[in-house]
Structure 1
Amino acid sequence: MSWIPLLMFAVACLVLLSGYPVAFALGGTGLLFAGAGMLTGHFNPADLTFVPNRLFGIVENTTLMAVPLFVFMGVMLEKSKVAEKLLSSMGQLFGPLPGGMGLAIILVGALLAASTGIVGATVVTMGLLSLPTMLRQGYQPQLSTGLICATGTLGQIIPPSIALVLLGDVLSNAYQDAQLKQGLWNLDTVSVGDLFVGALLPGLILVGLYLLYVMIISLWKPHLAPAFQRDDNSPRSWAGLLGGLLPPLLLIAAVLGSILTGTATPTEAAGVGAFGAMLLAAGNRQLSRAMLGEVVRATSRVTAMVFMILIGASLFSLVFRGFGGEESVHALFNSMPGGVVGATLMVMLLIFLLGFILDFIEITFVVVPIVGPVLLGMGLDPIWLGVMIALNLQTSFLTPPFGFALFYLRGVAPAEVKTAQIYQGVIPFIAIQLLMLGILALFPELATWLPHLLYG
């Protein structure tokens, strides 16, 4: 009955497309198939006894504690005007150059990604602050909107990233499953810190590719990205420039530096980041009881959503395995031409296509636990695989029609910017991300060299 797991996966995707809440769609699909399987004798009810252990494992997982802390840090920075000061400072520095505003937005997006890791906050903030100015200065709407959407998604790959936290937890379990199936008992693990370090170089290279694209466009077709024309003759303030740049840079150094040097775990670094974000908000005179209440409520909503999805996905995964789904996937991959290369290519293509219709959290909790143990059992490096999946998931925010970055920007863009222009604007950046995937596939050392150098 190897077709049952495939049918179960297809039904889950269809239910997700219906718009039903993700956690209940996954858990409900699992329970529906478990009930039908028990009635027909194809599912062992004893498999459901592992559910309480899974739930307890989620609750006591210290790695996942980083999720609410990083969300708190990102929301606090969003509401404390740090992004506004940062964009103003970068605009002063790069604005007079051809394509200068575009370069400034990419660098601000990278810095916000390294300090917040929240895509929606970055896209909305830069859309409100920079898009009207860019259009007024004569930037092409497609280029402007594409830039803002693409740089907003850098929070998916540049640490600290919530996507990498979730991927690290899922891949760690998948890696241990793969080792157990090979008869190994002295188990190695892949940590969130490993993924953070592994994603650093690919993330910076992706930022460099974005910058290179804007520079080429501004030199080849200057009318699409003209130099910034100031509306007044006020002198540049280096004090203001440093005041906008230094606080987020110090926060990034505190969070990432503590992880890279091994001083703190990602969870501990997330606590440092949350406290540092509160200090920055207090320094900007934005910290108040009302604002703190808004941040806590927003953090609670996002955290509850993530953990409910994780619980539903755990139930779905248990039932999928109970029907022999992992063996079916393994047999499918082994029968593919090209061996491990063909299997990896198929998984990456599947994740890319699912990104058109599903969110990165859904793909992480549904697809990765299914394919991860099989690919890792075929000998792939878990850090490289994790960074490849994270890069691929990043495109899910840009791919029409359901790319969340497109929705975020559409909600704050001026009325004269058409939705079709936003869709057209992201196409070159999707191509750049796919190019980065190809580069990482050809040179896996870009993801594995730094973790092995630091941690052995």
Structure 2
Amino acid sequence: MKIRPELRFGLGIMALVVVGIVWLLLGVETITKGHLGLLMLSLVVVAIMLGFPTAFTLMGMGMIFTWLAYDRDITRTLDLMVQAAYKSMTNDVLIAVPLFVFMGYLVERANLIEKLFKSLHLSMARIPGSLAVATLVTCAVFATATGIVGAVVTLMGLLALPAMLRAGYSTPMAAGSITAGGCLGILIPPSVLLILYGATAGVSVVQLYAGAFFPGLMLAGLYVVYVIIMAKLKPHWAPPLSEAQRRVELPPHNQRLAQTGTHHALLRLLSALKGQRNADVPLSHVLKQLGVVLMPGLLFLLLATSTYRAVTTVAAEPEYDIEPISFAADGAPQTSGLAEPSMAGGLAEPPVEDDEEAPTEPLALSEPPGAEEDEPAPAAPALAEPGGAPQGEAVTAETTRPAPTWWWVVFSILGAVVTLFYLFLSFARLEVFKMLLASFFPLVVLIAAVLGSIVFGLTTPTEAAAMGALGGFLLAAAYRQLNVRVVKESVFLTAKTSAMVCWLFVGSAIFSAAFALLGGQELVEHWVMSLNLTPTQFLILSQVLIFLLGWPLEWTEIIVIFMPIFIPLLDNFGIDPLFFGLLVALNLQTAFLSPPVAMSAFYLKGVAPPHVTLNQIFLGMLPFMGIQIIAIVLLYVFPGIGLWLPQLLYR
């Protein structure tokens, strides 16, 4: 009987775990409760690899070992289970999970991905490896809108894989682009992984979203750069599109306009406003097309003026009209403003029997010798302008300031893009732009509204998730895909996914409580500290362990089982949990890309043509795994990639 390679690998890993348990227990003179905690951790990993449900395995193991820790006291064991479950269910952060998942399923069923892929691959037709690049960009946008890896990989496998194979792309290149792009939803917000990590580690989900934004874009950009370089170096892996594949069909009215004048769309439409030169095209059609053409420029001007005013305007400080305080010859202050309250009825000096023997100076603070001979002190201004404003006048602040450098950089790039758009705008490119308006920009607006409201502190993640769910609802309705069947399927899948996440959290809470009760965390911490690691060495060790755990386990299991073990160790090394979470989010994509238990490979294999083998898919995934490691190194060497935006907005 021949054993499949992935089954052989899994059995080998389990055998190593069992051998490690036996070696650990035999090599210890006295088995403590901490060793029982490590035994529980090992048995959980073996049980999950055998196929037992993760959540109920965690709960079952946690209860059994809690019962042993409490010396077989069933009452205390059940009390701990109820308290851990209640603590998990009252976590407000988890409310965002079903709402984001519901948004994702509604967007998925709006059938936007086909239009999105077609418009993107036509707009990038002249870029080397354009189909693979369009696949990665489509996956990044769609994964951001849905966050559901399985759905994105499956849909792109049905849509992009046949198109790339027909265009002559190598199977590993096509498969690797789809599987790597589909996994971007794990990292790019709004990510369910970041919500679970934030709830587990006690880190703000808002800051995690802000921190993961640029690392996600960096990883997607590295994927695109790799595809373009390989398409240049090895054109047979990703051949350029033919002229027929790049052709864009024009509507009849636009075709007549293009044939009877200049090919530049803006100039031709402006000239068509004159009745003699409209080529029998209705004026209403010309005005509609002209409105679409002018839209990018008007939007750029609107954004530039509104944001310039926002970044250069400084709110005026409240004005104060403060009268100067003058002093009389006897040193008593004279003011017509607020006076000290009367001391009548309050504390007074004790009575002196003989006024003549009373001291001439108060017993409290007195004037220094010779102060009586000085001139009265001039009026002291309480608040004054830095430039020497006259006393008693109102204090105001500067109302404008220069625009920051980042504003000039961003809008210089946007201005260059808009200028190039108008310089090279043909009627074919106008049709591609209209396709992008119908597919790409609605998703971008939805994502920007959800993420922008979270990152800039306008809403909480839960409120933004509710807004995103409503946006997905409206988007499906706008594309005439909203019906009872779509809503029913979306609600059912949302309930299924949310129940899985919630049970995982309950199981994780029970397991973590049992692990801490047995002293397993203290044992692990003592072992790690005995190694005398530097912070860099600890980060390398932890990331290597997470990378290896990504082979047999999924990211949900790694988050709920192993993050409660790693998080308490961060304080000993002075590591920011936010930064550690960003490294983990980058690293955990290996749970979907690392053979032989790469779930994205099996998602793609399920919809791929029969001649596409699993080994070819694995071969295509390996370079993208290497790119992930490069991204982790870049984030560690340049932590500002992930920490700059949270520090700018919240610290």
SS of structure 2 residue aligned to 1:356: coil
State the partner residue of 1:32: 64
The separation in 1 between residues aligned to 2:638 and 2:468, in whole angstroms, is 32
1:171 aligns with 2:186: no
Judged with a 3 Å threshold, the aligned counterparts in structure 2 of structure 1 residues 375 and 365 are, in CA distance, closer, same or farther, namely same
Stretch moving more, 53-62 or 146-155? 53-62
Distance 1:73 1:38 in 2: 44
Asked if 1:111 is matched to 2:126, the reply is no
Give runs of aligned pairs for residues 24-423 of structure 1, distance below 5 A: 24-39=56-71, 46=76, 49-172=79-202, 190-229=203-242, 230-231=244-245, 234-235=249-250, 236=428, 237=431, 238-423=433-618
Is the 8 Å Cα contact of residues 179 and 604 (structure 2) preserved in structure 1? yes
> Mind listing any 5+ residue stretches in structure 1 that lack a counterpart?
173-189
**88-97 or 364-373: which moved more?**
88-97
1:26-84, Cα deviation, whole Å (9 max, x unpaired): 11111222233444x8x997476343233222222221111001110111111111112
Q: Which is richer in helix?
A: 1
Aligned-pair identity in percent equals 41
1:5 pairs with 2:200: no
Summarize deviations over 1:179-201 as a string: whole Å, max 9, x none.
Answer: xxxxxxxxxxx210110001111
Which SS does the other structure have where 2:469 is aligned? helix
State the distance in 2 between where 1:312 and 1:96 align: 51
**Relative to structure 2, which stretch is displaced further, 163-172 or 334-343?**
334-343
How far apart are residue 335 of structure 1 and its match?
1.3
Q: Which residue of the partner structure matches residue 183 of structure 1?
A: none
CA root-mean-square deviation: 1.7
TM-score normalised over the length of structure 2: 0.65
Shift of 1:447: 1.5
Give the letter aligned to residue 79 of structure 1: R
Check the 8 A contact 2:147/2:185 in 1, yes or no.
yes
Deviates further, 342-351 or 313-322:
342-351
What TM-score do you get using the length of structure 1 for normalisation? 0.92
**Number of the residue aligned with 1:186:** none
1:435: which partner in 2? 630
In 2, distance between residues paired with 1:340 and 1:239?
52
How far apart in 2 are the matches of 1:443 and 1:92? 35
2:348 aligned partner:
none
Q: 8 Å contact 1:47–1:318 — kept in the other structure?
A: no
Give CA deviations for 1:67-116 in whole Å, capped at 9, x if unaligned.
00111011111111111221111011113432011111111111112211
Q: Deviations over 1:117-137 (max 9, x none)?
A: 111111111111110010000
Structure 1 CA distance, aligned partners of 2:520 and 2:226? 43
Partner Cα separation in structure 2 for residue 207 and residue 54 of structure 1? 38
**Aligned 8 A contact 2:207 2:455 in 1:** no
Letter in 2 for 1:393: L
CA separation of 1:96 and 1:321: change in aligned 2, threshold 3 A: same
CA contact (8 A) 1:336 1:342 kept: no
Q: How many residues align?
A: 437
Q: 1:267 to 1:377 in 2, by over 3 A?
A: farther
Q: In 2, Cα distance between the equivalents of 1:45 and 1:388?
A: 41
Q: Distance in 2 between matches of 1:442 and 1:94?
A: 32
**Secondary structure of the residue that 1:434 maps to in structure 2?**
helix
Cα distance in 2 between the residues matched to 1:278 and 1:82: 13
User: 1:341 deviation in Å?
Assistant: 2.5
CA distance in 2, matches of 1:147, 1:118: 17
Q: Does 2:31 match 1:18? A: no
Q: Gapped runs of 5+ residues in structure 2?
A: 1-31, 251-427
Secondary structure at the aligned position of 2:505 is classed as helix
SS in 1 for 2:596: coil
Cα distance in 1 for residues equivalent to 2:562 and 2:617: 29
1:367 partner SS: helix
- The structure whose Rg is larger is 2
Residues 301-333 of structure 1: CA distance to partner in whole angstroms, max 9, x if unpaired? 111111111111111111111110111111111
* CA shift digits 1:232-259 (9 cap, x unpaired): 6624423223211111011011111111
